[in-house]
């Protein structure tokens, strides 16, 4: 079935902070236009007579506000009883950011089959681009056991990040969800990475879990899982 006409309009207005960047995915066909000034941005996409199976499934719009040299907050009222509060972190150069030890833990249980796992792969591919070469990362996948497959820890070089994306894109779903084991094994891996890296350097430890969140194997009680994770997390990793 052909779609006779599809239009997408995106408008962004930031009267207080300003709009420094704006982007909208270009599907590569049809009418496509982006406009931006200091405080507003808009995107317009128009498609005609497109087969439904070739329509873009995901259309991403992204924008950023002006950076601030100091942390600040901005309260914007619209005059209709509604308001938005913006918290802008201070802008830091990469050279002054603390390096990170990051373990990505990805749920590949049966319930993650289809679109959920596809979305997790897209999310990972986006997050991995934010790592710098000062960061170290590892990847665990899990289902019935706390760990099914492992991408060993390494510095976040361009080649390592490319290999990591290939590793994640090849993951397949199946089995139950041992969420407790995934948390515990992920924290164990962070502790191993801390011991293996320069003890004179200070790292921020982060555990990122991509899951639909329902434990079906191992310990399944959410309160028990939370208690075990809090006890295990002696390193105060960000989860």
What confidence tens digit (pLDDT) does each residue in 144-175 have?
877 788 899 899 999 999 999 999 999 999 98
> Considering the domain boundaries, does residue 238 fall inside one?
no
- In this predicted structure, the answer to whether residue 72 has a pLDDT above a threshold of 60 is no
The torsion angles phi and psi of 238, rounded to 5 degrees, stand at -80, 130
pTM reported for the whole predicted model: 0.64
177 contacts: CB under 8 Å, gap ≥ 6: 107, 109, 111, 142, 143, 211, 212, 214, 215, 216, 217
* pLDDT given for residue 57 in this prediction: 64
Same domain membership, residue 102 and residue 39: no
48 or 77: which leads in pLDDT: 48
Lowest mean pLDDT: which of 36-50, 54-68, 151-165? 54-68
Nearest one of 193, 74, 85 to 139, comparing CA atoms: 193
Q: What is the CATH number of the domain that holds 184?
A: 3.40.50.410
115 shares a domain with 23: no
Query: Based on the domain organization, do 9 and 42 belong to the same domain?
Result: yes
Distance CA 213, CA 107 (A): 9
Banded pLDDT at 188 (limits 50, 70, 90): very high
Looking at the structure, do residues 75 and 101 belong to the same domain, yes or no?
Answer: no
Q: For the chain, what is the domain count?
A: 2
What pLDDT is attached to residue 92? 57
Give the confidence band of 208 by pLDDT, cuts at 50, 70, 90: very high
Do 227 and 114 lie in a common domain? yes
How many other C-beta atoms lie within 10 A of the C-beta of residue 207? 22
Task: Determine the structural domain holding residue 9 and report its residue range.
Answer: 2-88
SS (H, E, C) 179-203: HHHHHHHHHHHHHHHHHHCCCCCCC
């Amino acid at each position: 079935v052909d779609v006779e006409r599809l239009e997408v309009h995106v408008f962004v207005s930031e009267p207080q902070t300003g709009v420094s960047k704006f982007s909208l995915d270009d599907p590569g066909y049809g009418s496509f236009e982006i406009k931006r000034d200091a405080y507003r941005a808009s995107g317009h996409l128009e498609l005609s007579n497109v087969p439904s199976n070739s329509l873009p499934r995901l259309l991403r719009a992204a924008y950023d506000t002006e950076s601030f040299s100091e942390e600040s907050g901005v309260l914007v009222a619209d005059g209709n009883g509604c308001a938005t509060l913006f918290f802008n972190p201070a802008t830091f150069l990469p050279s002054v950011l603390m390096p990170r030890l990051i373990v990505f833990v990805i749920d590949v249980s049966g319930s993650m089959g289809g679109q959920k796992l596809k979305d997790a792969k897209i999310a990972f591919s986006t997050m991995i681009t934010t790592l710098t070469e000062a960061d170290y990362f590892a990847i665990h996948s899990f289902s019935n056991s706390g760990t099914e497959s492992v991408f060993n820890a390494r510095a976040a070089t361009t080649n390592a990040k490319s290999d990591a994306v290939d590793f994640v894109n090849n993951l397949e779903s199946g089995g139950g969800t041992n969420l407790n084991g995934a948390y515990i094994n992920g924290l164990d891996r962070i502790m191993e990475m801390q011991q293996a890296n320069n003890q004179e350097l200070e790292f921020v430890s982060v555990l990122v879990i991509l899951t639909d969140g329902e434990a079906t194997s191992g310990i399944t009680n959410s309160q028990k899982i939370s208690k075990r994770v809090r006890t295990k997390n002696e390193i105060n990793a960000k989860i």
